[in-house]
Every structure is written in C-alpha cells, then in structure tokens.
C-alpha cells in the first residue's frame, strides 16, 4: 500500500510508521523535523519517503501531494496523527490562541482530506484515519480549545464519510485516552504531581502505550474494515466509561 502518514516522527505517528514499514508498505512520512529518526530513514530508505512540512502552513498543504509525485501510482490510505495539545484556563484564551490550535488540529486535517480525496491523488476504496482524542467526547478543565478541536474532528469524520462514500473511501477516527508519548510527558511536566496521579487514576487499565493504539489504526486502513466508515473508536483503558 501507498500510505500518507503525518506526525511520523513522534508518539503514535512514529509507532505507526514502524508498524507500516514492517508490513512492507511504502510510507510518505510527513513531519517538521526528521533528525530524530535519521537512522530509521537510512535503514528503510526504500520504504520511507520523508516530506518536510509544517502544518501551520495550511494554505500550502497541496505541496505535500505534489512533492510526493506518485506518477503512475496513487495513495491507498491517509493517517493523520499530527496535532498539538495545550492546557490553558479560559481566562487566558484569546482569539489568536483558539485560531492557532484549530489551524493545526482541524483546518489542516480538512485540507489534507480535501486534496487526498481528489482522484489524481487517491485510489477508490482508500481509507482515512484521523487521530482524535477521547477529549473529543469528554470535557476537562483547562482544555476548552483542545476538546473543541478534537470534537470538531468527529463531526468532520461523519460528514466526509458520507460525502466520499461514492468512491468507497472510508473515513474513521481513533480516540485515545492518555498515552505515554512525548506530548503527554510535556503535559505532565506542566502540572502538579497530584494532578498527574489523578489523571493516571482515571484510567482503570492504566496509562496506555502507543502500541495499544496502532493495531486499530492498522485495522482501519486494511480491507478487513471495508464496511466500516464514519466511526469513532475510543481506545482509553476505560477512562470514558466511568
């Protein structure tokens, strides 16, 4: 398969990249900085095609597709892992901050999907997976911006699944709980030890690992999920059932 993967150098994106190349896929990996995985790029130079891009440049997203230059091939899947997390009290929010997080977490995803859905870039029957968050269906103090963006993704998934069904393109999302990633570690460094323990206690099965999320992503881009679209899969160790 030819797969476009964003956020490929860290967290869930990096673990997804490793799994995809182990399955002999060709991955067009999108990230801002590939220095963190330079050894992996050298080792799998035939399977990983790096594409340097900053998703703050929403208006230039088609550049990703033109740079890939598939020629006689097309993409079979899009996996959008890139995004940002922030914890900010409502009193400190300003329109510019809201716009920034929506730009990266929502607008970039919609623009990616818009270009991916063009016949010149993707095959009929292709699959799209967005990495949202369980915060898209739950709330948490200090996360009004983040929760709003992740909820927006869920609406976008349902609407686009219907619109793209004429080409049998499936669109789904995975909604992880708190997973052990660099983004999570950054969050934990910004809050008190008591808050960290409270967050961990909210997950009956404990904090997740990236390897707990990736199998569902792999399933959703495979032919085994050919009759699944417009769905949001919660993977959170029981966080949302309490």
Residue 102: predicted pLDDT: 94
CATH code for the domain in which residue 169 is found: 3.40.50.720
Strands annotated E in 177-231: none
137: which 2 tokens? 């269906």
pLDDT, one tens digit per residue, over 148-170 is 999 999 999 999 999 999 999 99
Please check the confidence at residue 214 and state whether its pLDDT lies above 80: yes
Please check the confidence at residue 96 and state whether its pLDDT lies above 90: no
Residue 210: predicted pLDDT: 93
Q: Within a domain: residue 191?
A: yes
Measured at the alpha carbon of residue 6, what is the angle toward residues 95 and 166, in degrees to the nearest 5?
Answer: 95
CB 6 within 8 Å of CB 81: yes
Q: Within a domain: residue 215?
A: yes
Residue 32: predicted pLDDT: 94
Q: Within a domain: residue 241?
A: no
Range of the domain at 37: 2-236
Q: Within a domain: residue 221?
A: yes
Q: Within a domain: residue 242?
A: no
Stretch 133-139: mean pLDDT = 91
- Quote the CA–CA distance of 167 and 120 in Å, as a whole number: 13
- Quote the CA–CA distance of 164 and 158 in Å, as a whole number: 10
Report the length, in residues, of the chain: 242
- Best CA proximity match to 174, nearest among 135, 227, 130: 130
Q: Quote the percentage of the chain above a pLDDT of 90.
A: 74
Q: Within a domain: residue 90?
A: yes
Specify whether the backbone of 171 is left (phi greater than 0), alpha (psi in -120 to 50) or beta: beta
3-state secondary structure at position 205: coil
How does DSSP classify residue 225? G
CA 94 from chain center: how many Å? 25
Q: Using DSSP, how many helices (H) and how many strands (E) does the chain show?
A: 9, 7
- Residue written as token pair 């914890």: 87
Q: How confident is the model at residue 127 (pLDDT cuts 50, 70, 90)?
A: very high
Structurally, the chain folds into a number of domains equal to 1
CB 115 within 8 Å of CB 100: no
- Quote the CA–CA distance of 232 and 138 in Å, as a whole number: 13
Q: Within a domain: residue 93?
A: yes
Q: How confident is the model at residue 97 (pLDDT cuts 50, 70, 90)?
A: confident
pLDDT, one tens digit per residue, over 36-63 is 999 999 999 999 999 999 998 999 999 9
Q: If you average pLDDT over every residue of the chain, what do you get?
A: 92
Residue 183: predicted pLDDT: 74
Q: Model's pTM, two decimal places?
A: 0.93
The single residue of 93, 121, 146, 239 carrying the catalytic annotation is 146
Q: Within a domain: residue 58?
A: yes
- Best CA proximity match to 31, nearest among 48, 43, 19: 48
Please check the confidence at residue 112 and state whether its pLDDT lies above 80: yes
- Best CA proximity match to 229, nearest among 159, 175, 176, 149: 159
Active site residue 93: no
């Amino acid at each position: 398969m030819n797969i476009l993967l964003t956020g490929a150098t860290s967290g869930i994106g990096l673990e997804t990249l490793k799994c995809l190349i182990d399955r002999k896929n060709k991955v067009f990996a999108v990230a801002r900085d590939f220095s963190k995985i330079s050894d992996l790029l050298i080792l799998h130079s035939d399977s990983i095609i790096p594409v340097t891009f900053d998703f703050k440049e929403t208006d230039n997203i088609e550049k990703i597709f033109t740079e890939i230059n598939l020629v006689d091939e097309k993409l079979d899947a899009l996996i959008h892992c890139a995004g940002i997390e922030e914890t900010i009290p409502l009193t400190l929010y300003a329109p510019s901050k809201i716009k920034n997080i929506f730009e990266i977490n929502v607008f970039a995803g919609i623009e990616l999907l818009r270009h991916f859905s063009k016949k010149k870039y993707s095959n009929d029957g292709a699959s799209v997976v967005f990495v949202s968050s369980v915060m898209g269906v739950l709330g948490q103090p200090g996360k009004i911006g983040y929760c709003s963006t992740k909820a927006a993704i869920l609406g976008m998934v349902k609407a686009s699944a219907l619109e793209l069904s004429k080409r049998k393109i499936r669109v789904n999302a995975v909604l992880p709980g708190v997973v052990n990633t660099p983004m999570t570690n950054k969050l934990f460094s910004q809050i008190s030890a008591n808050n960290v323990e409270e967050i961990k206690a909210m997950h009956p099965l404990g904090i997740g690992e990236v390897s707990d999320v990736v199998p569902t992503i792999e399933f959703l881009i495979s032919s085994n999920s050919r009759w699944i679209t417009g769905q949001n899969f919660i993977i959170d160790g029981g966080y949302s059932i309490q």
